[in-house]
Structure 1
């Protein structure tokens, strides 16, 4: 009888060697730290390109926002500057000459109710425009700073916005003074001639009525505010002129210097008017101003 042993127990028979779970130290990768960093960077780049969740896409969108947002904001604010005040402060000022004659003949300093209503309306109208002109000026300055191709146009529009801002700040500070130019075209010729004669007589003899004193005070305040604000504008333009000169932008330097000189001329004219307001007020009532 012959004994048969299982195949795996036969002497000399071995099972095939299983691959070891532990790598041979001699066969480890010899990749250096620098190569591993490059591989990791390339892998991250592939992941961002595949998923689109990297920081590149939002950054491109952020760069494109000002190119659309700033011009759109400038257009909307410019439209609001001219359209919003009539909607928010409805009504006209055609009754001002008649209300002024009633106030002039009253001999009192306080405004009549009808005239006070017109003055309040003028104040609110200019206040709305100031609140719109301030961000409009800021947006135009940002446009001039960001887009070099349209810097000259944006700078010119910023100067216009600054002039509009100054004019409306004057209206907020002296609303009655900004209504005085309506007297010359609004009064009938006999009324205008009589008013001018009385104003000349009072200014010549030094006996000023309460109504004329209010007119002079408002007229002086109106020009004083303009002188101060134009002086600030001239200082800003001079500083900008020096800055662009250092960057060797001669053309921009010349334009800003000329604008600053024009602002200084306006300052000098208004300071002269404040020092001697009588001739200017008479010219205003005659319609020559």
Structure 2
């Protein structure tokens, strides 16, 4: 049942978000190119409007993108649960596989390793899509053709770069749209900082539990000791990597303007 769920959910993660987001939001977009074009045009209009509130066209794009990420986050969360449950079953079967042939034990271990990697990928997808759903405007920014060399979009991007270079010391010249963008960009990184901190704590706890189980297991049970030693080491290393992500995003949350400027200059 778990394998069948995974087989269905993996392609659903890729295929389902666009049609479901179209149904649940005010409208959809016919392909990636149409989405990019609509966002670019509405972004220019929003910047020139002098208003904090999104224009109707930009609101439509942002709302669609929010729903898109919510769908992906839900599917990724279900996949995470499926892979965790499947991984637990596989590793338990491996630990009880003393009477099986070496080939069968190797197959169980390989399957367990693959499912563990897939669970980690699902976790990363959950985090990324929660981030995108919480700050959909910032999540959309990478779709802007920031290297546009002419036209209204190029002029708008130049103005954004100029204002960001002086931010927050722009006085009365600060466009309301810029304040919204900086605030949304700060929230975009705050979400991942909180999520990464939470994941780091969980991974550290898993590492401690694995090392304790390793220490309690007799030296004669080499298979069990090897499994829990591997999980203890993997969890510890992953927790350190996630801590680095949390620290970097916390710094950007506190001072988002330089990172946002770097993006608009093509360096992010």
- The TM-score, its normalising length taken from structure 2, stands at 0.78
**Counterpart check, 1:227 vs 2:193:** yes
Higher-RCO chain (CA-CA 8 Å, sequence separation at least 6): 2
Confirm or deny: 8 A CA contact 1:123 1:175 kept in the other structure.
Answer: yes
Matching residue of 2:162: 197
Q: Distance in 2 between matches of 1:71 and 1:165?
A: 20
Confirm or deny: 8 A CA contact 1:227 1:270 kept in the other structure.
Answer: yes
* Structure 1 residues 262 and 121: CA distance shift in structure 2, 3 A: same
Instruction: Choose 206-215 or 219-228, whichever is displaced more.
Output: 206-215
Q: Distance in 1 between matches of 2:195 and 2:158?
A: 34
User: Secondary structure of the residue that 1:247 maps to in structure 2?
Assistant: helix
Q: Please report how far the alpha carbon of residue 186 of structure 1 lies from its aligned counterpart in structure 2 after TM superposition.
A: 6.8
**Counterpart check, 1:241 vs 2:202:** no
**Matching of residues 1-289 of structure 1 within 5 Å:** 69-88=1-20, 89=22, 90-91=28-29, 92=32, 93-94=35-36, 95-148=38-91, 149=108, 150-185=111-146, 187-188=148-149, 190-191=154-155, 192-207=157-172, 208-248=174-214, 249-289=228-268
* Structure 1 residues 163 and 178: CA distance shift in structure 2, 3 A: same
User: Secondary structure of the residue that 2:144 maps to in structure 1?
Assistant: helix
Q: Please report how far the alpha carbon of residue 184 of structure 1 lies from its aligned counterpart in structure 2 after TM superposition.
A: 4.5
Q: Distance in 1 between matches of 2:171 and 2:230?
A: 52
RMSD: 1.7
| Structure richer in helix, relative to its length | 2
Confirm or deny: 8 A CA contact 2:86 2:115 kept in the other structure.
Answer: yes
- The TM-score, its normalising length taken from structure 1, stands at 0.72
Confirm or deny: 8 A CA contact 2:50 2:175 kept in the other structure.
Answer: yes
What are structure 2's unaligned runs of at least 5 residues?
Answer: 23-27, 92-107, 215-227
